[in-house]
Structure 1
Amino acid sequence: MVEIVLLSVLLICLITDIYSRRILNVVTIPAILFGLIYFTAQSGLEGLWFSFSGFILGLILLLIPFMLGGMGAGDVKLMAAIGALMGSTFVLYAFFFTAVIGGCISGIILLRRMGIKQMATHMFITFAVFRGNAKEMHATTEGKSKFSFPYGIAIVSGTLLAYIWGGF
């Protein structure tokens, strides 16, 4: 039952993120509530803790990138919903795969738009000058980055990979 809800949420969020660049609260909030209620009904306080700890971990994992302007609130709530539905161990695996896939997609987009020489220069400046200080880096950009993509693609792909991989 939970897997059906998860797959439905992932499919809906993938479609809405691709077409409107939004992940809707009307999808993520009920999924979070479903996870909390379902696991509480199944296993009492132990089930509530399973779902709630997954929800909190999913929320925390993407909160910093959100606060730095790297993604939308819908992405954060989708990862929290995944945690509420599948627990903390699963959401950690999903986050790892999501980060790898998101990094690969970003690299491909940058490479296509900038070319290898300009991308290497950009990466050198980013790491050498700013030394990873994302707040300063973010402050130097105006508005939204021109190198963005619907991160729901990475979240859905990473979650599906974690689900298929199993073993958690």
Structure 2
Amino acid sequence: MIINAVLGVALVVSLITDIRSRKILNIVTFPAILFGLIYYSIADGFSGFLFSGAGFLVGFALLLLPYLLGGMGAGDVKLMAAIGALTGISFVLYSFVYTALIGGAISIFLIMKKRGVFNSIKSFFFSVIYLRSSLGSLIFPKEKQNSIAFPYGVAIVFGTVCAFIWGGF
């Protein structure tokens, strides 16, 4: 199906550019969004436009808050919106869940790699036991560390591939 081909091209190009330059290009996401809206409008009329438009809005809304909080770039939001425009609401929701799980696993791996496995486990149990209360923070101040960042487009691409392979839960 042509939608799957457009989605596949958008995902592959976004994966490559996000790894290389930490950017997901508008020249990839905007045409994918437009293609989804136009394709479904031609194929199913106004109901097709609503299908694609609703998928776009849900995909956009899912990552809008993390973007506004500074946790990710606008390209990630637009890529998820493009996935929604091309596949609809239910697929983009499944894709988002897989993306969150994969992104969380990548984050845990990177944290453990940077801080060391033992320090990560010790820090986790310390946080759980003492709940990092105000008194605990005064006695054991948090270390100032650089934040750990990674191209989240990687998680989006692999989450979408998982949704495509395994579908819903």
What's the offset of the Cα at 1:120?
4.1
CA distance, structure 2, for counterparts of residue 13 and residue 151 of structure 1? 11
How many residue pairs align between the two structures? 156
Asked if 1:128 is matched to 2:131, the reply is yes
TM-score (norm 1): 0.86
Q: Match of 2:136? A: none
Q: Match of 2:6? A: 5
Asked if 1:115 is matched to 2:116, the reply is yes
CA distance, structure 2, for counterparts of residue 128 and residue 35 of structure 1? 47
CA distance, structure 1, for counterparts of residue 77 and residue 63 of structure 2? 5
Q: Match of 2:100? A: 99
CA distance, structure 2, for counterparts of residue 120 and residue 68 of structure 1? 27
Question: CA RMSD of the aligned region, Å?
Answer: 2.1
Correspondence 1:68-79 to 2 at 5 A:
68-79=69-80
Task: Compare CA radii of gyration and give the structure with the larger one.
Answer: 2
CA contact (8 A) 2:94 2:167 kept: no
Q: String of CA shifts for 1:110-141, please: whole Å, max 9, x gaps.
A: 001012343246555599348xxxxxxxxxx8
Percent identity of paired positions between Structure 1 and Structure 2: 53
Question: Counterpart of 1:31 in structure 2: which amino acid?
Answer: A
TM-score (norm 2): 0.85
Asked if 1:37 is matched to 2:38, the reply is yes
CA distance, structure 2, for counterparts of residue 39 and residue 27 of structure 1? 19
In structure 1, list runs of 5 or more residues that go unmatched.
131-140
